[in-house]
Amino acid sequence: MKKSAIRLEAAYRLVNPGGVVLISVGDRERDNLFSVTWNTPVRKDPPLLAIVSGKGHHSYGFIERTGEFGVNVPEAGLADAVLGCGSVSGRTGVDKFERFGLTRQPAASIKAPLVAEAAANLECRVTQVVDLGTSALLIAQVVAAVASDTRFVDGHWKFDEGLELLHHLSGDRFCVSDRVLTGKKNA
């Protein structure tokens, strides 16, 4: 297979069309949503995940103050809302839930609301912040999680029944995961 050099500023795209999520933040008086593609599970027990956030973003201040955030896993039908929540600043006072037709769902363990339309919601408390200059890597423990009874069954996503999770490619470009492949085990 022939390969060519790529621009280094695009190198992250080689390992990241990871699932895009909506991060919800709030303090029970105000809240906000923003899209994050740079997210990953870190550990199974205790359950830890990591996201990257710009420190200058409006929502970062909520996370600094509360030490909490919600992770909302959108399906393909929410692509416009995901793009909008990542393109419009909450600093201007816009209510992103209202503007993008999303419903606030109370969380069980954190102050921030969750997105009712998401296929799954995880409630997280920050355990470590790694300073990356203008951004920060936030490592958080999952303290509660819920998922659609029809989309996540027996501990697995059900792609064989029409589930399409969003993956951000760049700009306004997304792709979806829509099926499961199984590899053959070597004997």
- For residue 182, what is the DSSP state? -
Of 2.40.30.10, 3.40.640.10, 2.60.40.1180, 2.30.110.10, which CATH number belongs to 16-177?
2.30.110.10
Residues forming a β-bridge with 23: 34, 71
Task: Indicate the domain borders of the chain.
Answer: 16-177
Instruction: Of 43, 60, 45, 52, give the one whose Cα is nearest residue 18.
Output: 52
- Find out whether 24 and 70 touch, Cβ atoms under 8 Å: yes
Q: Which two tokens stand for residue 146?
A: 């819920």
Determine which helix (DSSP H) or strand (DSSP E) holds 105, and give its type and residue range.
strand 104-105
pLDDT for 17 equals 54
Instruction: Of 72, 69, 50, give the one whose Cα is nearest residue 61.
Output: 69
The pTM of this model reads 0.91
pLDDT tens for the chain, residues 1 to 187: 987 777 787 776 666 657 899 999 999 999 999 999 999 999 999 999 999 999 999 999 999 999 999 999 999 999 999 999 999 988 888 999 999 999 999 999 999 999 999 999 999 999 999 999 999 999 999 999 999 999 998 888 888 888 999 988 778 888 888 777 777 776 5
How far is residue 172's CA from residue 174's CA, in Å, rounded to a whole number?
A: 7
pLDDT for 187 equals 56
- Find out whether 22 and 33 touch, Cβ atoms under 8 Å: yes
pLDDT for 4 equals 76
Instruction: Of 108, 175, 121, 131, give the one whose Cα is nearest residue 152.
Output: 121
Residues constituting the chain: 187
- Find out whether 89 and 35 touch, Cβ atoms under 8 Å: no
How far is residue 61's CA from residue 107's CA, in Å, rounded to a whole number?
A: 19
